[in-house]
Chains A and B, each alone.
Chain A
Amino acid sequence: MDCKKAGEMTAGLLCGELSDGEKAELQAHLDGCVGCRKELELLSKSWQALDNFKVPALSLEFEDSLMSRIRAGRRKEEDAFFGFDLFGLSANARAALSGWWKVPALTLASCAVYVLSIETGLMPSRQYYPSAAARVQSAPNPIFAMLSEGQRTGGPGYVLALVEGADK
């Protein structure tokens, strides 16, 4: 066996791939070749030297810090609404405002349902509340009148007056 072949077998030896026969063959070459023996020893020792790369201890706050980052990420997700972000606010301010958008969002959604229900004919039309609609249309302050009619006739009356008043 020449030194080149021994070098290839050394790679196999380090990967644990040599059969017993091949190991014996390599050993026979190493016994008579100082250069290859030294190469193998260097390879082995440099691999062992990696033990010297010590890792410092992880900081004690690792988990607390991690959970804070996770909570902050979750808050950011909650606060983000239609692409708007409460960017730049302190963590406390964000926490205080967390979910703030749910109230107007719910209001908007309710309005949309009301308007849709009127448009699709699900809500009683002007014929059920003719006097309320007329009063709103002729009132000097339509907004106030709408609210007032809404109190008397309930939700549908208020919305009816609002929508039909706006039509005129």
Chain B
Amino acid sequence: MARLTSQELLAKTRSEIKEISMGELKNKLANGDDFVLVDTREQDEYAQGFIGEATHIPRGFLELRIEALEPDRDKEIVLYCAGGNRSALAAKSLEAMGYTDVISMAEGFNGWRDAGFEVAQERTLNTEERERYSRHLIVPEIGERGQVKIIESKVLLVGTGGLGSPSAFYLAAAGVGTLGLVDFDTVDVTNLQRQIIHGTSDVGRPKVVSATETINDLNPGVKVVQHEERLVSDNIMDIIKDYDIVVDGCDNFETRYLVNDACVMAGKPNVHGSIYQFDGYATVFHPGEGPCYRCLYAEPPPPGAVPSCDEAGVLGVLPGTIGLIQATETLKLILGVGDTLVGRVLMYDALDMTFQTFNVPKDPSCPLCGENPTIHELIDYQAFCGITAAGG
């Protein structure tokens, strides 16, 4: 077996693999070419800056994680390190795995940076965060960049009841950086059969206060913003403007229509969940990308036609299931991974233990987001469960 020095090995490897210059990589990025860019340097090097939207996989983990990132063996993969040596060795290794179109960028990140080409930089995790979110970091679809996205996200939860409790709990655990809580209600002992973010000692206290304390104990890194007020047309736009995503876990139609209309007007995704006894619905209304609530139900049902949980009861576990589907969809929206429920409705039947999803199109005649909208301002459906449904 030939004995090679490290220099000889590198020279041999670089002669055997395909290399491109940093100028060529720059052109490929500018052209929007379809390829996978991987930064193979170590964590501390990556933290100093990286190229484009490179995925960070340290050299030592490359063979273990590349298939999760790109299973297609014929996909073009461009690797870079600091100076073109480690990425050359890495390219050789990927070729041995059967990847047919692997390229190493010759000058590496240092050459790129020294040439004055654009360097991306993002918030990185501190040691404590890296430990807390370690089970996220090793998931290829999340990783450090995904966790940073979660930490930098701002999510508004409308309601901290049956649906809001599990959503808020898990979103806080996942590290959502800012959680807004809207609820004007106080904790009642009858809530505790399902509203798990509150405890027996919280009875009589404002729900937003009780929920904030639970969240702070679970994850002190989360900033909780309390909105202890009823959502109405006068305050909703001002409240939602600071958030990226709205999670609708309220318990009445008037608020659901208000949240939908405000989210469409503000262009915010609205993660919807609703429940009744043993049945639950979940979907995502994403303005511009799919239908809104009014595409499904143009107007609220007749007053009194639909009993509330207070009147009809609900299996205590049910909002847990639906609330966590909402939390899951919220995280997917933040991360930009997977197929969300945009344009689809999920129906859950706890008695039959069946989930079914079906596509729902955007309605061209929708009074809010259709071709000739008739709703141009927010509507307060006052006293909805009572007698009149105003506006419309």
A binds B: no
Q: Please give the residue numbers on chain A whose beta carbons come within 8 Å of chain B beta carbons, in ascending order.
A: none
Interface residues of B (CB under 8 A from A): none
